[in-house]
Structure 1
Amino acid sequence: MASNLRVQARLGQRTLLLTTTAAVPLTGWTVHALALHRRLAAAKKDPLTGLLRRDAYTARARQVLRRHGDDTVVVLVDQDHFKDVNDSLTHAAGDTVLRATADRLTAWAGQGSAVGRLGGDEFAAVLHLPRGRREVRLAQLVRMLRIPVVLEDGQAVDVAASVGAAALDVIGTRDLSVAQRAADAALYDGKHSGRAVLATRKHATAPSINGRRARRPGTAVWGRAA
């Protein structure tokens, strides 16, 4: 009986030793996996604004499009006179303006949307926005982007941004690339006007002039003039 107990005790100690030894590499792999996950998540986001980078934004945008179909709207935002901010108030001030724009666009687009920084002072959002709410919501975005940005030293900087939007049911396609081109063409129709421009079907095929879309007649504009 005593012999059996000693054998069981030794077996229990070996089991504990094996379990503990196996747990060490498992814990190491867990820490490694978490670190890798954080690095991958960071790689998907713009370090300055926290918004999705282009590839991650595109993947997320297509998910939104599949979920909401023709009620999806693609919105492009381009900061107005951003170079002047950098030149006159330093790049740190410019960074503050970019972060403010990113925060405002994210708040405006809401949960379930895709919001990304495409590069420089260009941003994009893809969201569910039914036809009856577009006019009010786009005008709201223009107003939000015109609110002065307060810098760390307390100085208020006047800002504005040009906004172009493409509603899939209006332009007649669910192709994200085409919708973004249409939104870009609409944006340049209203560049520096202080108004949001909603693309028509013609914007999706508008010719380019020196990299800028040619202006098309009959566009709808919402917001306040600058």
Structure 2
Amino acid sequence: MKITKAASLADDLVLRFEEKILSGMLKPGERFPTEMTITTDFGVSRTVVREAFARLAARGLLESRRGSGAYVAEGARYQAFQVTAAELGEIDDVLRLLEMRTGFEAEMASIAAQRRTQDDLDTMKACMERMARSTDMDASVEADSAFHAAIARATGNPYFLRFTDFLGIRLVPSRRLYLRSDSPRSHAAYARTINKDHKAIYDAIAAQNMTKASLAARRHMQKSYERYSALKREAAG
């Protein structure tokens, strides 16, 4: 998927205004600058501004008033954290999520190694077997998500599971950005790569080795980050 200049500029605007809102520089009920002001101040097109406004509105940070303009939504500073599917359409978005996910997954695997039960291990193993049999993207995504949910459940901490369930499929970077082919062979090869990492995490959790489990989970995330970074460089070149 090509990373467009317009999408990148819209990302930048969203981040700038989100920071102003969350820091209190822009207060609830305060009017946003006009489209023309933003296009002049930031050197972007109206299309970029409207895309940024649409994303801010989707996050509950902006509300439009007919004939009046755009305003900071009431309670905007207290919006719950969320990652929408629309935000994962570009490689940069996936990389940001992977950065956040790395520490979360490492700690979760460490705690799971300490507390796992045999039922937890059986569930993880079944997920890996499903991944090995997968021949299409949907099946591999489902098996991948289920494996990480099983680790969350093994912690015995409901907040790990709730957070994993909340992000759901967003914790598994989109294969549409990485896989160029829909062939069963391509998906099977990708599944083998992921399953090799999963096996290392599983083995450490099964051995109740908290340090190795954490390192295996961290390596898994870092390798994913490296794959998507390489794809970004390829798209840019």
Higher relative contact order (CA 8 A, sep 6+): 2
Q: Hey, which of these two has a bigger chunk of helix by percent?
A: 2
Tell which structure's C-alpha radius of gyration is larger.
Answer: 1
Q: Under a length normalisation based on structure 2, what TM-score does the superposition of the two structures give? A: 0.28
